[in-house]
Amino acid sequence: MSRFLLGLLVMFLTVASFLTGRYYEKLEPDGFLHLASKSKTFVYNQTYGEKPSNQTDAAWESLFPSQGGYFQHPTLAPHRSALSVFHQLHCLNGLRNTYWLLLSAATTGPTILEDEIPMMASPPHIRHCIDLLRQSLMCQPDLAIEEKDPEKGGVSGFGVEHKCKDWGQVTQWVEKWQGYKIEEEREKVKAHGATDHHEHH
């Protein structure tokens, strides 16, 4: 092979490698993340279902990247965006907070007037979250088999092995891109006279 042809081949492979690397994330079977699968047996963790406290709130916050799951990406997400899973977790935590708020009002706490209900516990937000979670569960159905407990007359869901994606990879990817153009976005927010201390789902 002549040096000229060899040079062309090297150039072609270099360009192909660059383009493949640039769009690799977008072409992965999981959309843009090649997530490792691993077996995991579900074990009941009471913390996430307990009433709001410093401990339980910190546990929920630890599930999210430091910017709440928001990121920006030059090709996949040119504008500030979030992965759906973080919106879904936000909704689930909202249902937890609402449950304990209403339980307290119904048993020991003072009556809550309609205009005193926090936005997260408002009927429109709860309806939104319930249907979002319904569609999310049906979109990616977990096909692990849960054996019925004849004494309880149902299934507990715990003690069953599931095929799970590597959650650490998800949060690491978002952490990688959460700071992309963030200062530019903050300037836009300030220009509109709003504050951006916290991003909400």
C-alpha–C-alpha distance, residues 69 and 167, integer Å: 13
State the average pLDDT over residues 143-156.
Answer: 95
pLDDT of 26 strictly over 60: no
pLDDT at 33: 83
State the average pLDDT over residues 166-190.
Answer: 84
Backbone angles phi and psi of 57, in degrees to 5: -65, -40
70 token code pair? 């928001």
Give the residue, 2 or 77, on which the prediction is more confident.
77
pLDDT tens for each residue of 38-80: 999 999 999 999 999 999 999 999 999 999 999 999 999 999 9
Q: What percent of the chain has pLDDT over 90?
A: 63
Q: What percent of the chain has pLDDT over 70?
A: 76
Cβ atoms 159, 32 nearer than 8 A: no
Q: How confident is the model at residue 4 (pLDDT cuts 50, 70, 90)?
A: very low
DSSP 63: T
C-alpha–C-alpha distance, residues 105 and 101, integer Å: 6
Residue type, 127: R
Q: How far is CA 45 from CA 28, 133, 158, 194, in A?
A: 32, 20, 10, 38
3-state SS record for 87-115:
HHHHHHHHHHHHHHHHHHHHHCCCCCCHH
Q: Report domain extents, the chain.
A: 39-178
pLDDT tens for each residue of 105-145: 999 878 888 888 899 899 999 999 999 999 999 999 999 99
C-alpha–C-alpha distance, residues 96 and 107, integer Å: 17
CA angle 176, 181, 186 (to 5 degrees): 120
